[in-house]
Copies of this chain bind each other. A is one copy, B any other.
Amino acid sequence: MALHCRIVGDMKEKELLMIPGPTPVPESVLHAMAKHPIGHRSGEFSKIFMNANSMLQELAQTKNDVFIYTASGTGAMEAGIANTINPGDKVLSLVIGVFGQRFADIAKLYGAQVTEIKKEAGENVTAKELEAALAQGPYKAVTITHSETSTGTANDIYSLIPIVKKSSPETLVMLDAVTSLGCMELEIDKLEIDVCVSGSQKGFMVPPGLSFIYVSEKAYKAKETCKTPVYYFCWKQAKKALADKTTPWTPNVSLIVALEQALKLMQEEGRMAILERHTRLRDTLRQGIKELGLKLLTDDRSASCAITAIWPPEDISVPDIRKILKSDWDITVANGQSHLKDKIFRMGHLGFVSDRDILTGLACLKATLVKLGYKLPVKAAV
């Protein structure tokens, strides 16, 4: 009998998601979500909503307003552009993958003159490249991806953002922190980030359906002179509702109740402990992948704590690896995106992930490779 999971009937529910979202969800969060919905204009809801709100601020180390959108992270990215950018505005976009490109594309759609710093997959933007591009400014905004989900590469925001602030203090810094917030260090007030977006199905251990946008005073001021039409994602509507401890439109009540529970769990674990855990998960996985003799897309210094992109061995295809991992071990890993489709595979390790999950993932990947005819290096064969 072959050594693998036999996925029939109820065993289906054993699936282990190792993708960059949806990520695994704790039972108590699922239970909170499954309660009968309460009215979104009730005092009971306002209390939960404002509690989630203040925990979101604490997590990102900021006093800036945060708006909770019933939408995915892409909606929040569009909100950042649509509330601040007028046609003709100059925008600098740091593009290190699919999601950096998306931010640039949205800005173009809204009529911005976009300059892109475009890097090869696996590379991030250097201080020198940023300085050179800023010299061609001034820009109304700079868009930066913190953790690029398509490559598992992170930009060093603690090096890059101060460069923008120093060379061009009027420029809005817009950060895509969709897969980084709650996984990697990110202090909005210290870095003076003007617009920061994230999503529930990532580090927050909540199913997809909510996104968050943190807005600075400077970004609000840009909104005041912005003529671009925006309604559902409008900051004026959101700010007015927030003062009334609610949202302008009917929110996803059940997910906000779940979010509050997840943020309580995160508060209990502690911000620094969460960041240390994600660093450890990343390092353990990368070490294990190297011991298996496989190559990583991103080097150690610029590796995301949320997701790791891996080259398959020669003569073994990404679709085969994903297929066997799923059929034999009920583990779902992500394919590459765009031009990296079928070239790399990506293992997510953000949110409700333990050290045990990483060992599990590595052990099952090893068995999968062996089944596909891969000869293990001596060290990994033990």
Contact = CB atoms under 8 A, between A and B. Distances in A.
Interface stretch (A156-164, A248-256, A260-268, A284-292): A248-256
Top 9 nearest A-B pairs (CB, nearest first) are: A209-B252, A34-B34, A22-B37, A75-B232, A74-B249, A207-B254, A72-B249, A37-B207, A72-B250
A228 interface: yes
Contact of A332 (B42, B70, B71, B110): B42
Contacts of A194: none
A17 B253 CA distance: 13
Interface string A31-51: 101111111111000000000
A71 B208 contact: no
Interface string A188-201: 00000000000101
Interface string A338-350: 0000000000000
Interface of A: 13, 15, 17, 19, 21-22, 24-25, 30-31, 33-42, 70-75, 78, 82, 105-106, 109-111, 199, 201, 207-209, 228-229, 231-233, 248-255, 332, 334
B232 A74 contact: yes
Contacts of A22: 37-40, 250, 253
Contacts of A255: 209, 252
Given A33-B33, A250-B201, A70 B208 contact: yes
Contacts of A249: 72-75
Contact of A37 (B25, B37, B254): B25
12 contacts: A17-B39, A22-B37, A22-B253, A31-B34, A33-B33, A40-B208, A72-B251, A109-B231, A209-B209, A209-B254, A228-B229, A252-B255
A73 B250 contact: yes
Contacts of A19: 39
A231 B42 contact: no
Contacts of A38: 15, 17, 22
Contacts of A39: 17, 19, 22, 332
Given A17-B39, A74-B232, A74-B249, 13 more contacts: A13-B35, A21-B250, A22-B38, A22-B40, A33-B33, A33-B34, A70-B70, A70-B71, A70-B72, A72-B251, A74-B231, A75-B232, A105-B231
Nearest to A19: B39
Contacts of A17: 36-39
Nearest to A234: B109
Contacts of A111: 229
A30 B24 contact: no
A349 to B, nearest CB: 15
Nearest to A22: B37
A332 B106 CA distance: 42
A249 B250 CA distance: 20
A209 B78 contact: no
A335 B17 CA distance: 44
A253 B24 CA distance: 13
Contacts of A207: 37, 252-254
A348 B35 CA distance: 20
Contacts of A73: 249-250
Between A21, A36, A38, A73, the greatest number of chain B beta carbons within 10 A of the residue's beta carbon is seen for A36
